[in-house]
Amino acid sequence: MRILIDVPEPDLELLDKVTKRRVISRAEFIRQAIRVSLTPYRQKMNHAAFGAWSDLAEDGLAYQKRMRGEW
Q: pLDDT digit string (tens) for 11-70? A: 999 999 999 999 999 999 999 999 999 988 877 766 666 666 677 777 778 888 888 887
Distance in angstroms (rounded) separating the CA atoms of residues 11 and 3: 18
- Is 50 a member of any domain? yes
- Is 23 a member of any domain? yes
Q: What is the pLDDT of residue 39?
A: 86
Number of compact structural domains in the chain: 1
- Is 3 a member of any domain? no
Range of the domain at 29: 9-69
pLDDT of residue 4 exceeding 80 = yes
DSSP state of 69: H
Q: What pTM, to 2 d.p., does this model score?
A: 0.58
Q: What is the pLDDT of residue 55?
A: 73
- Is 1 a member of any domain? no
